[in-house]
Amino acid sequence: MRASRLAAIGLAAAVGLGAPVAASAQTDDAAAAFVRVATSYSLTPNITYQRAGGQDLTLDVYRSRAASEPAPTLIYIHGGGWTNGSRQSSALTFLPYLEMGWNVVNVSYRLAGTAHAPAAVEDCRCALRWVYRNAEQFNFDLDRIVVTGNSAGGHLSLTTGMLAASAGLDRQCPGDRNRMWPIGPPSTAPLEVAAIINWYGITDVYDLAHREPGTSGNFTEAWLGSRSDRDDVARRVSPTNYVNGDTPPILTIHGDADSIVPYDHATRLHELLDEWGVPNQLITVEGGGHGGFSPEENQYIYAAIRAFLGEHGLGPEPSND
């Protein structure tokens, strides 16, 4: 495991901040990036990728108009303790990937008030299947799919990218099944991703269910419900139980003062990844809580993400300027 500890001291120098000339250059670069994204992307909203529990499960696709070949594609999964949150409220989070020229698929899933675990895990796997089925139409490069999310979305990004078909959580959306709504051509290829970017996600649901609740209350209990086999379900949806030699590269960002998802969820996951020889990196935000990192910290983190993606052949597309 490659580990980085992100401390406030010296951070400005690390990310090139502080000097007026550098600040001016960064402002110009940010303005150019904003204009490029605003003028070169199309949005296809509210696509139904699955129907479950009497509701349409939808996603949005952000696609570069300039891309003439399949482009790297980010699947973004919002957080909210499996009980709240929405894809719409998270849309600004993935702007750095749009600036890099990537496609983005922004996913909604069933929350605990509609369906208990493992529904959210099943839904996100179905969203990945939809990406496979619609790769040609939307120019998704199936060899360069990255999944990311924060908190519960971090957990779901891990399960989406780590599960094998043998886990039995893909059965709601077999790739050869036709539906009553447009779902794309059949695709029965194994569901694989190239990397996972995990922002302070839950890695052991069973462990979290048996700890004292953090400052956000017992959202784990709300998601698992009162079923008699809740412990078995918790283990079944825990990413730490799926680490093996085929696990894709994983980068985790986690504050060591997180009062909602314990920091040791990050360290334990990366210890297991090391044991299996899986490429991985853990960025520790010293004194950091459950997100809410400073702009300087986020700039450092996104620079590290770009470097991590580049190391694994997933770097940004060449500029079209």
pLDDT at 202: 98
Please check the confidence at residue 17 and state whether its pLDDT lies above 60: no
User: What are the structure tokens assigned to 318, written together?
Assistant: 């060449």
Strand partners, 285: 6, 255
Tens digit of each residue's pLDDT (9 = 90 or more) over 243-290: 999 999 999 999 999 999 999 999 999 999 999 999 999 999 999 999
Structure-token pair, residue 261: 């998802």
What is the b/e burial string over 135-172, where b = at least 16 CB atoms within 10 angstroms of the residue's CB?
A: beebbbbbebbbbbbbbbbbbbbbbbbbbeeebebbeb
* Domains parsed from the chain with CATH numbers: 2-23+41-311 (3.40.50.1820)
Is the confidence at residue 13, as pLDDT, over 90?
Answer: no
Report d(CA 159, CA 241) in Å as an integer. 10
Q: Lowest-confidence range among 28-32, 40-44, 56-60, 180-184?
A: 28-32
Question: Residue 86's closest CA among 63, 60, 61?
Answer: 60
Contact 90, 77 (CB under 8 A): no
pLDDT at 27: 63
Q: Which two tokens stand for residue 153?
A: 């979305």
From 164, 168, 227, 235, select the one nearest 204 (Cα to Cα): 235
Q: Which residue has the higher pLDDT, 287 or 12?
A: 287
Q: Is the pLDDT of residue 50 over 60?
A: yes
Tell me how far apart the alpha carbons of residues 62 and 43 are, in angstroms, rounded to a whole number: 5
Distance CA 150, CA 5 (A): 19
Whether the Cβ atoms of residue 242 and residue 205 lie closer than 8 Å to each other: no
What pLDDT does 178 receive? 83
pLDDT tens readout for residues 111-143: 999 999 999 999 999 999 999 999 999 999 999
Q: What is the mean pLDDT of residues 158-184?
A: 91
Alpha-carbon distance of 109 to 160, in angstroms, equals 12
Distance CA 41, CA 77 (A): 20
Tokens found for residue 51: 């129907």
Structure tokens at 207: 């462990």
Report pLDDT digits (tens) over 216-243.
889 999 999 999 999 999 999 999 999 9
Check whether 318 has a pLDDT greater than 80. Answer: no
pTM over 0.85: yes
Please list, in sequence order, all residues whose beta carbon lies within 8 angstroms of the beta carbon of residue 228, skipping any fewer than 6 positions away: none
Question: How many Cβ atoms from other residues are within 10 Å of residue 12's Cβ?
Answer: 15
Beta carbons of 150 and 197 less than 8 angstroms apart: no
Residue 26 binned pLDDT confidence (cut-offs 50, 70, 90): low
Alpha carbons 249 and 193: distance in angstroms, whole number: 9
Pairwise pLDDT comparison (49 vs 14), residue with the higher score: 49
Using pLDDT thresholds of 50, 70 and 90, give the confidence band for residue 24: low
Place of tokens 């210890």: 271
Query: How far is Cα 22 from Cα 7, in angstroms, rounded to an integer?
Result: 21
Average pLDDT of the residues of the chain: 90
Mean pLDDT over residues 138-161, rounded?
A: 98
DSSP secondary structure letter of residue 63: E
pLDDT band at 18 (very low <50, low <70, confident <90, very high): very low
Reported as a pLDDT band with limits 50, 70 and 90, residue 31 is confident
Taking residues 195-205, report their average pLDDT.
98
Question: What residue type is 62 in one-letter code?
Answer: Y
> DSSP letters of 123-170?
HHHHHHHHHHHTHHHHTEEEEEEEEEEETHHHHHHHHHHH--GGGS--
Residue 31: which H helix or E strand, with range?
helix 20-40
The C-alpha atoms of residue 226 and residue 289 are separated, in whole angstroms, by 30
Q: According to the model, what pLDDT value does residue 19 have?
A: 41
| pLDDT score at 182 | 87
Res 47 pLDDT > 70: yes
